[in-house]
Amino acid sequence: MPYLRRTFTIAAVCLAALGSAACTLSGSQMADGSYTPSVGQGGKDVVWVPTPQALVDHMLDMAELTPDDRLVDLGSGDGRLAITAAKRGATARGIEFNGDMVALSRRAAIEEGVADRATFEQADIFRSDFSDATVVTLFLLTDLNVRLRPTLLAMEPGTRVVSNTFDMAEWRPDETAIVQDGCVGYCRAHKWLVPAQVAGTWVMDGKQLQLRQTFQMLRGSLRDDGTRQSISDGRMAGRKIQFSVGDDLYLGEVQDDRMHGTVNGSHRWEAVRARP
């Protein structure tokens, strides 16, 4: 990001978090060697502003987090989101560039009794492998989210991605919520489901289904004996697919190069990806 834009962004975040108070750009070491972070302190790509606990809770609700999930928090700050996820029984991993914040998070995980499920590492999120995660959380600027977009889209279909406040530009969220109770500043959450990649030609019950995909949105056509019908209302939700052809609603699920489902809730359909 150009220097002037970055400076403006830092100032805006600080003012939003602190009102008219001055914005401190560094944490402090206490006499006993412990570290106390300051709201607005500078980081590698963004300043640190803690996510309100009310929004942390709602983000995890939006993600439909379960004890079977593996969550990664990108830019984990003081560790509160990963620790909250671990307290819900999930396996949580925080990736944070600031070593002092990592140490603070590890101490907090021990104090909360979840150090076995909430781990933290000092690393660059753009150089880290988190492809095994089933839930990704983040509180970064939109341009950083966009840099992460190719990595996120390459993850397992159905992976849930939840962001505090900032979106993914052209990749529109599947769900957005605003938390009002117990939250002041940065109270909006966005959720995306990583879509299965279905663009291309499919053979469906002897017909040719042509799909074009932009993130989770689908366009295309169905051809049969020289006739062509456009599809409408097409979209992906992880591995789940839906589209309409005329008055017929197709619902289904994608598994690699095959998909199957029902038409209008009754008749079954199947499709196989056509080979080049």
Query: What's at 92, amino acid-wise?
Result: A
Q: In angstroms, rounded to a whole number, what is the distance separating the alpha carbons of residues 238 and 83?
A: 26
Domain ranges (residues) in the chain: 46-193, 200-273
Quote the pLDDT of residue 47: 66
Strands 207-214 and 217-224, by their bridges, are antiparallel
Q: Tens-digit pLDDT profile for the chain (276 aa)?
A: 332 333 334 444 444 443 333 343 445 554 445 667 655 545 555 666 788 999 999 999 999 999 999 999 999 999 999 999 999 999 999 999 999 999 999 999 999 999 999 999 999 999 999 999 999 999 999 999 999 999 999 999 999 999 999 999 999 999 999 999 989 889 999 999 999 999 999 999 899 999 999 999 999 999 998 899 999 999 999 999 999 999 999 999 999 999 999 999 999 999 999 987
Strands 70-74 and 135-138, by their bridges, are parallel
Please name the helix (run of DSSP H) or strand (run of DSSP E) that holds residue 105, with its range, or none: helix 99-111
Q: Is the four-CA dihedral 202, 208, 214, 219 of positive or negative sign?
A: negative
Q: In angstroms, rounded to a whole number, what is the distance separating the alpha carbons of residues 145 and 149?
A: 6
CATH number of 200-273: 2.40.128
Place of tokens 């060697």: 33
Quote the pLDDT of residue 276: 77
- In contact, 122 and 99? CB cutoff 8 Å: yes
Residues with Cβ within 8 Å of 247's Cβ and at least 6 positions away in sequence, in order, are none
Residues with Cβ within 8 Å of 84's Cβ and at least 6 positions away in sequence, in order, are 53, 56, 57, 60
Place of tokens 């990704």: 136
The DSSP secondary-structure symbol of 247 reads: T
Quote the pLDDT of residue 119: 98
Q: In angstroms, rounded to a whole number, what is the distance separating the alpha carbons of residues 100 and 95?
A: 12
Quote the pLDDT of residue 25: 41
Quote the pLDDT of residue 3: 27
In this prediction the pTM is 0.85
Burial class of 65 by CB neighbour count within 10 A (0 to 12, 13 to 18, 19+): buried
The two three-digit tokens of residue 240, written as one number: 């789940």
- In contact, 181 and 143? CB cutoff 8 Å: no
Quote the pLDDT of residue 48: 66
Query: What's at 114, amino acid-wise?
Result: V
The two three-digit tokens of residue 161, written as one number: 């991605």
CATH architecture type of domain 46-193: 3-Layer(aba) Sandwich (3.40)
Quote the pLDDT of residue 91: 98
Please name the helix (run of DSSP H) or strand (run of DSSP E) that holds residue 19, with its range, or none: none
